[in-house]
Structure formats: structure tokens, C-alpha cells
Amino acid sequence: MKKIIFLFMFIGIVLGSKAQDFNIDETIEYINEKLNNNLPVIEIYAKYEWSVTKYGKLIIKHYWYEDLSSTQSMYLKQLDSSSIGISEYSWIYITCKENKNCVHGNSEGVSFNWKAYCFPYNNKEGTKKQLANAITHLIKLAHKKPEYKERDPFDY
């Protein structure tokens, strides 16, 4: 009887788990898995690696044939969680708050600053929306963390 009760409790916990319960690391893991398993054909040899530093800086590395192709970084608190977009051409984009340049990157030795970050994605409606929701969740989590910064503490 105790085993049956334990089994039902375990199933209830597993099935009752919702995205709202995901922490930063779990959300990043979900994004990496969802993104890399659903890349469009044009990105068949690509891989994305998302990570977050202890100060809330999102670092996105883009690999092509195992070689690092580009790196983008942005502080999560500088991103607008209400502006995650899905274009009709299979792109997902994230914009900076107040239309500022908050995305910094480097590709093949060229540095850049942008007001948004976008990436291609397989045009499966359900999974595309799930990824956009996960990114929105990540940004909202970051805004609740007092230890996360809006910019580099030594950038003055």
C-alpha cells in the first residue's frame, strides 16, 4: 500500500511540474535542447550553446562544424520579456529594453552592438512557441534575481 501511495505521489509531482517551477539552469538546459534539436536545414551543421553567468549575462555561442563561429552576450535584465517575437520566416528574435544596443558580439574578429538578437529556427509551430515561451520565462526569472546586473559592474 505504501508503495502505491509513493508511486501516485511521484507521478503527481512529475506531472505537476510546470515551466514556472523551472529555475535559470533548467530553463537554459531546456532552451539548448529544444533549439539544437529543431534547427532548420540551413543550420544542419550548427550548434548553439546558451549559458548565464553569475551576474546575469547571457552568453550565446554559435558553432559551425564544431568550430566557434560567433559569440553574443547580453545582460538578461536589459532584455524585454514582452518582445520575444517569432517571424513568419522561421526566426525568433529578442529585443533590448528601451531600444538600446544591449547585444554585444564578435564574429570572425568583427565586433558589433545590436538592439536585438535573432536566430533561425525550424518552422514547427508548437516547438517554436515553446522556445519563445522558455526565453520569456528566462528573462522574467532574471528580473527577479537581485544579484543579476543590468551591465558590467566595472563598465563606467
Distance CA 93, CA 27 (A): 17
pTM above 0.85, yes or no: no
Residue 15 DSSP SS3: helix
Output the 3-class SS for 26-56: HHHHHHHHHHHCCCCHHHCCEEEEEEECCCC
Place of cell 532584455: 79
Q: How confident is the model over 10-54, as pLDDT tens digits?
A: 444 443 446 568 999 999 999 999 999 888 877 888 999 999 999
Split at pLDDT 50, 70, 90, the class of 4 is very low
Locate 144 and state its grid cell. 527577479
| Gap between the Cα atoms of 44 and 40, Å rounded | 7
Residue for grid cell 562544424: 65
Mapped onto helix, strand or coil, the DSSP state of residue 8 is helix
For the stretch 80-128, pLDDT in tens is 999 898 887 778 999 999 888 999 999 988 999 999 999 888 777 678 8
Select the more confidently predicted residue: 9 or 88: 88
Sign of CA dihedral 96, 44, 68, 35: positive
Whole-number pLDDT of residue 126: 74
Task: Show the CA angle centred on residue 84, arms to residues 78 and 86, nearest 5°.
Answer: 150
**How confident is the model at residue 108, as a pLDDT?**
85
pLDDT at res. 18: 60
Name the more confident of 50 and 5. Answer: 50
Q: What is the pLDDT of residue 42?
A: 77
Tell me how crowded residue 131 is: count the other CB atoms within 10 A of its CB: 22
| Residues 54-64, mean pLDDT to the nearest whole number | 95
